[in-house]
Amino acid sequence: MTVIQGANGQGKSNLLEAVFLLSIAKSPRASSDRSLIGWEVARTGGHAQISGYARDAEATVHAQIDFEVDAASGDSGSVRKSLRVNGVVRSAAEFVGAINVVEFAAEDIDLVAGAPLERRKYLDILISQADSAYLRTLQRFGRVVTQRNHLLRLVRERRAKDDELDFWDGRLAAEGAAIVDRRRRAVERLLAYAAPAHQDLAGIGNQLDIEYLARLGDEIGPAPSGTVREIAEQIEHAVKALRGRELTQGVTVVGPHRDDLLLKLNGRPAGAFASRGQARTIALALRLAEAEFFEEAAGRKPVLALDDVLSELDSDRRRRVLLAIQRYDQVLLTTTDYSFVPLEFLNQARRLTIRSGVIGNASDADG
């Protein structure tokens, strides 16, 4: 474990965000690549890079992301991003998962109390790191929804015929069914890891349940089961039943882009009833379950990047968290104060400091 100490605003979260970028090629927080780049480079143009090595018993992987910033049009200039693994240019689907990183950040509480989008994003990142085919399916589905929404608006404006939607209904159902099936199976495995992880963190008597919900009509409910073809038939039937509403709204209202995860604590919806401390513990359990999911899927332990995970926990839960992460080969843990880390763990860790974005050894800072 490496403990990185620094006051607020010194760059701890930026460091872990950069590590996570080497895993999924996108920031979990920034809305655009341009907002990731230092202000001076973004303003004047130039080159920025994130580069890192991951090692396991069998191989070393070098992941690299390069940003070329065009300042010709001022602050709104374009950013071109290229991805490389071991020096070879890769597509996003080929890059994602070359290095597996599980990141816990303060915003993870939104997995419990936030909008369904946050839980879908969590699930999609989880599966994509373990299965590049799933990421390609997501990309195809996104294009289908974009094209179909455009056509819905054309039909609504009487610039296209209603039956032109039939082809896109079929594509929506086929790609959507593959996503629903893969998510449903992933949630089953995730629950097998998350329930015991949560009990380890929260104590016996605190039961976590996870259910994947799909929107196939007016209401959201349990995801359909059966073969991919059977799921596709159910999606296509729902799409045709709601075509009138879709034409009115001009958007696709059925499909996995509208689905959700239901998290329940002791049988009650956690989003409505969990306290902030309980929600934080659930989010931590989901991240630890994610790490086990990767280990099973990829055959190697991921890097854990835990951003200020201990500050809002009592001493007992801090100790439970640190015991849970001891089994991982590399853990990056940020904190504002070393005192949040019990000495039995701190004495076994490498200690670093970060000030104004510069990292040094703890002894250097002390001197």
CA-to-CA distance for 367 and 355, rounded, in angstroms?
14
Residue 91 has pLDDT above 60, yes or no: yes
Q: What is the pLDDT of residue 67?
A: 92
pLDDT classification of 366: cutoffs 50, 70, 90: very low
Is 134 inside a domain boundary?
yes
The answer to whether 134 touches 128, Cβ cutoff 8 Å, is yes
Residue 365 has pLDDT above 70, yes or no: no
Is 314 inside a domain boundary?
no
CA-to-CA distance for 294 and 111, rounded, in angstroms?
19
The mean predicted confidence, pLDDT, of the chain is: 91
Indicate the burial class of 366 (C-beta count within 10 angstroms; 0-12, 13-18, 19 or more): exposed
Is 226 inside a domain boundary?
yes
Residue 56 has pLDDT above 90, yes or no: no
Residue 74 has pLDDT above 70, yes or no: no
Our measurement of the distance from residue 305's CA atom to the centroid of its chain's CA atoms, rounded to an integer in Å, reads 13
Share of the chain above pLDDT 70, in %: 97
Q: What is the pLDDT of residue 77?
A: 65
CATH of the domain at 239: 1.20.1050.90
The whole-number average pLDDT for the span 290-306 is 90
Residue pLDDT, tens place only, 101-148: 999 988 899 999 999 999 999 999 999 988 889 999 999 999 999 999
Residue pLDDT, tens place only, 259-278: 999 999 999 999 999 998 89
The whole-number average pLDDT for the span 34-39 is 80
The answer to whether 63 touches 48, Cβ cutoff 8 Å, is no
Residue 1 has pLDDT above 60, yes or no: yes
Q: pTM (2 decimals)?
A: 0.89
Q: What is the pLDDT of residue 367?
A: 35
Is 95 inside a domain boundary?
no
- Looking at the structure of the chain, the number of domains it has is 1
Residue 160 has pLDDT above 60, yes or no: yes
The whole-number average pLDDT for the span 70-78 is 64
Q: What is the pLDDT of residue 79?
A: 87
Q: What is the pLDDT of residue 76?
A: 60
- Other beta carbons within 10 Å of 103: 24
Is 10 inside a domain boundary?
no
Q: What is the pLDDT of residue 139?
A: 95
- Other beta carbons within 10 Å of 251: 15
Is 356 inside a domain boundary?
no
Structural domain of residue 241, as residue ranges? 118-273
Angle at 153 between CA 151 and CA 155, to 5 degrees: 70
Residue pLDDT, tens place only, 310-362: 988 888 889 999 999 998 989 999 999 999 999 999 999 999 999 999 999 98
Q: What is the pLDDT of residue 225?
A: 85
The whole-number average pLDDT for the span 177-204 is 94
Q: What is the pLDDT of residue 122?
A: 93
Our measurement of the distance from residue 318's CA atom to the centroid of its chain's CA atoms, rounded to an integer in Å, reads 23
The whole-number average pLDDT for the span 47-52 is 92
Q: What is the pLDDT of residue 73?
A: 52
Is 237 inside a domain boundary?
yes
Is 205 inside a domain boundary?
yes
